[in-house]
Structure 1
């Protein structure tokens, strides 16, 4: 821990990520609520707009990883955050001027998602460049744990701010959705503050081009590297399936639960996200406490996801009880936090720094890339099936996947690593 405290670049990166993450939860609360307000609670339109926000993660995460290696993680991170601030302020101004068509909401969500997708691989690949391998587990635990603390504080703060601003503007009658403009402007302001702190200790780096490969060739290399690795392809394939079955549907289900099932206001939605965040903090702390060995990591993850599948089934079956839903999301948050910290540390420790950005891009694509499509299909399926029926099927499929993984020695020991040559 002393290494982390004494590292000014880590502290600057930590605070910058914390401010950025805190701001993102204002958008996380405001965007789906705005869409539900404009669309009269239409789950398909909600799913489409959220998919537009997440779609860049299906496309640009891989490109962002390659760019982080080619032009430098610091440069890409600064550029993506600057553009994010500009786009968010433009979107806030449009809401202030009462321009909020469904098409514009989808386009704006797509632009914001692009900035996030390009910057994420750079942020994740920065730690091994500023810290020794021995400090990565603690650094990831502190960084991701703090991000999840912001998930507890951020949604609750956002819910209170949205409610207070809504009260002010409903009295002054300045417009139907003017209060959302203030919320998105707060997001832009927090990201800007984090960017100012980050740039005080990180300079605009000029990274010499170490390869003549085009971006397409670099993408092909990173994908080939992962598919030829002894266990990378098993880990990534498993992560993709779990994202589709478990975490993608939550993107659409949580706002719907809050507004249509529980009849809650914006503050109620923040409670659900906060419960998930508290669980993720506990999961990050659990990794730092257990310090799982690589050969046992797959076993822990499979057991954890089986428990998360049970929590998903309870979530759908108890959609009328706020406290039961919060407990279910708390459990799912613990599992997600454990997997995030342990998994990212595992990848960072077994990939060469010069290609880490590209590989992290592939990892993030497998984790987040299919979530938008899963969220969109969930919104469409809700039109055909009831929520308890849908969550039961998803939980059952996830549980069967985990059981199969536990019975397979190759999957159960997917954390055991052998070298690869490409």
Structure 2
């Protein structure tokens, strides 16, 4: 795997783009803290971009299955680079509306880029290396987040906010150039593309029977809602914790600690998978995520706050590479574009609902009580789906014995 040039291009591009992304995210939080006093209004602003990404989801899935995935990544990368210009206008004018335009373009480009990326990974590495590749790819992404937030925390104190976005634009431009050097062999999928071109107008309708016929895929899709319950309002919670503790430094500590926890989890998940089944990993760490949410009841104590995000980071570091590998190996490759676009769209809908809910609950009941409610709900979902999975597995054994 490490001799594959495409692997190094994807990993290097992810690292550089991740730096740009997190410089921009810290900039977004700083801009909203200055211009928008209400947590709920902040959530509405962030939700605007997510809604745009959801709207183009079906089109993104069809195009990813119909045309070359590298082309999809290049066009979406160009749009992402161009979108930063709108944020520079927002800073110069002090207008939140230009920030909304920036978020819309950014999320639309992401709606095309990430399904194409997920569909491209199985085409550049062998199936036996997928879990390792997913873990390393997510680790590189997390490392860029840790460094990006740390660097942003330093730069925001010594340079204008505009400078963060200029660096972000440069990072996106470098990712675009690196993507030009990708060589993806899609020969095996071309006959399928020609065959499915006429029926692909139905979009996600072709994917639903596949998901329904693969219980392991359906269960994994449902379980991904548990970490999203934490991640959806992540940035709002970080802002709220910063205000609760009257500390700007805690934001960088939270992002860095959660990122380190994620990297440790993604590094160790390969070893854990040698001793445990994928569903043991998924169910175990969905319970751990619920526990980490409950721990935020003590959000006024910096040490316990950092511990909560460290535990959460480790849990999702094990959870997401396992889920991604299941999707890439169990779903037929000719449906990857539509499936990953559907999953991306489902994640965005979930993110939007959780984002709005988080903003509303932070304004009405505060972080600590909200954390207990979210944690209890996560534990309930994990328990419910765990017993449902056991029932499905028992039914399958009975069916196999009968046949």
**Normalising by structure 1, what TM-score?**
0.86
Q: Which residue of 1 aligns with 2:352?
A: 372
- For 2:361 and 2:378, locate their aligned partners in 1 and report how far apart those are by CA, in whole Å: 17
2:328 to 345, 348, 354: 348
Residue 26 of structure 2 is aligned to residue 29 of structure 1:
yes
Report how many aligned residue pairs link the two structures.
393
Higher helix fraction (1 or 2): 2
Q: Which residue of 2 aligns with 1:49?
A: 45
CA displacement at 1:205 relative to structure 2:
8.9
CA displacement at 1:203 relative to structure 2:
8.1
2:202 to 212, 217, 223: 217
1:262 to 245, 252, 257: 245
Deviations 1:121-177 (A, max 9, x none): 111111111121112122112111111111211111111111111xxxxxxxxxxxx
- For 2:167 and 2:122, locate their aligned partners in 1 and report how far apart those are by CA, in whole Å: 31
Q: Which residue of 2 aligns with 1:172?
A: none
Q: Is the 8 A contact 2:282 2:323 kept in 1?
A: no
Q: Which residue of 2 aligns with 1:403?
A: 383
Q: Which residue of 2 aligns with 1:147?
A: 141
RMSD: 2.6
- For 1:413 and 1:235, locate their aligned partners in 2 and report how far apart those are by CA, in whole Å: 14
- Extract unaligned runs of 5+ from structure 2: none
Distance 1:381 1:18, change over 3 A: same
Q: Which residue of 1 aligns with 2:71?
A: 75
Q: Which residue of 2 aligns with 1:136?
A: 130
Distance 1:132 1:244, change over 3 A: closer
Q: Which residue of 1 aligns with 2:231?
A: 247
Counterparts in 2 of 1:162-311, with a 5 A limit? 162-165=156-159, 179-202=160-183, 209-210=193-194, 211-213=196-198, 216-240=201-225, 242-243=226-227, 245-258=229-242, 260-265=243-248, 267-292=249-274, 296-311=277-292
CA displacement at 1:84 relative to structure 2:
0.8
- For 2:371 and 2:220, locate their aligned partners in 1 and report how far apart those are by CA, in whole Å: 24
CA displacement at 1:62 relative to structure 2:
4.2
- Extract unaligned runs of 5+ from structure 1: 166-178
Q: Is the 8 A contact 2:210 2:331 kept in 1?
A: no
Residue 60 of structure 2 is aligned to residue 64 of structure 1:
yes
Spell out structure 1 runs of 4+ moving beyond 4 A: 203-209, 411-414
- For 2:387 and 2:350, locate their aligned partners in 1 and report how far apart those are by CA, in whole Å: 26
